[in-house]
Structure 1
Amino acid sequence: MDQVPEEWQSRIDAVWEDDALDDGERIARIDELAAELDAGHPVALFERAGARDSAGEEEAAEPLYRSALDAGLDPVRRTRAIIQLASTIRNLGRVDESLALLADEYERTRGAAMADEAAAFYALALVSSGDATRGASIALTALAPHLSRYTRSVTGYAAELLNPRSV
């Protein structure tokens, strides 16, 4: 049920890329396009949630993200929805709930699509929860494979942040 016509997705992408739109216009355009699909279509719900979230309307975005997830999204969109929902609820002050969602998604995506994105937002939630050291370790571990040099060293230092050597 989460499939959408390529042409529809292209029009959605164009709305997101249009910097001339203000938040209200973007929400209206996304809602118009979402209305072309079934009311409970997971991708339509996800796009509507994202438009509100981007506009700073986190309280309106949250139930739409949850409905999109309940309706069933493909693996990449599912991870995006979890990340965006978790970021939204972190912004609403529910850091523990955000952290739980992101910890699960971080573990689920390891070695898969969106793993680095899940790690980045998990690291942010860890910092928000007061565990900046673990957040730095998660972020450095995700970054290390992308370095042109020092991958092994950075990976080792990231692990050492969590288990410092005794002096």
Structure 2
Amino acid sequence: MAASWEQRIDEFWATADDAAPETTLRAMRVLVEERGEDDPDALYEWASVHDFLGREAEAVPLYRRALDAGLAAPRRQQAIVQLGSSLRNVGEPGEAVALLSPQEPDAVVGDAAQAFLALALHDAGRPGEALRVALKALAKTLPLYRRAVTAYADELGSR
């Protein structure tokens, strides 16, 4: 039985090599071309490979196209986090903050949006807010001291 497109995407990512960018792009291009030009999943994967190869400036409009085309879960959550990260990396931390701020943790990305939001806030010159966001995400994982770390993080917001 032939592997499905999703299985082949998974296989691609299991062996993707950022040391061979042109080969990596060609391999993903073959998979992407199996789908329509405006297929949100294909657009997301094409954006992701550009991001993976450090070509964030090329990835940003592709992520936006995928989201505008109706990208659905679970890729939607990943695309938002990855777009936020890419925006930060291309010098647009304010846009990253606006995109990532309303994101809630979920089963797909967990608190990843909060981690990248903290980085974007730092880059936007808001280190106190960045620390608060990071500590609040961390506090959820602490079996002891959760309440104390959360309270200290909340205090950072009032200073």
Normalising by structure 1, we get a TM-score of: 0.84
Picking from 47, 58, 79, the partner of 2:77 is 79
For 1:77 and 1:154, locate their aligned partners in 2 and report how far apart those are by CA, in whole Å.
32
Which range moves more in the overlay, 128-137 or 9-18? 9-18
Pairwise CA distance, 1:20: 5.0
Task: Name the CA shift for 1:119/1:86 in 2 (closer, same or farther; >3 Å).
Answer: same
Q: Is residue 8 of structure 1 aligned with residue 5 of structure 2?
A: yes
Picking from 119, 122, 126, the partner of 2:117 is 122
Pairwise CA distance, 1:157: 1.4
Normalising by structure 2, we get a TM-score of: 0.87
Q: Deviations over 1:11-31 (max 9, x none)?
A: 112211215562222221111
Equivalent residues in 2 for 1:40-51, closer than 5 Å: 40-51=38-49
Picking from 25, 28, 41, the partner of 1:27 is 25
Equivalent residues in 2 for 1:15-164, closer than 5 Å: 15-18=12-15, 20=17, 22-104=20-102, 106=103, 109-110=104-105, 112-113=106-107, 114-164=109-159
Structure 1: segments with no counterpart, 5+ residues: 1-5
Give 4+ residue runs of structure 1 displaced > 4 Å after superposition: none
Superposition CA RMSD, Å: 1.8
Q: Deviations over 1:84-117 (max 9, x none)?
A: 112212211122112111113x2xx25x333501
Aligned to 1:3: none
Task: Name the CA shift for 1:89/1:20 in 2 (closer, same or farther; >3 Å).
Answer: closer
Task: Name the CA shift for 1:84/1:20 in 2 (closer, same or farther; >3 Å).
Answer: closer
Q: How many residues are matched?
A: 155
Structure 2: segments with no counterpart, 5+ residues: none
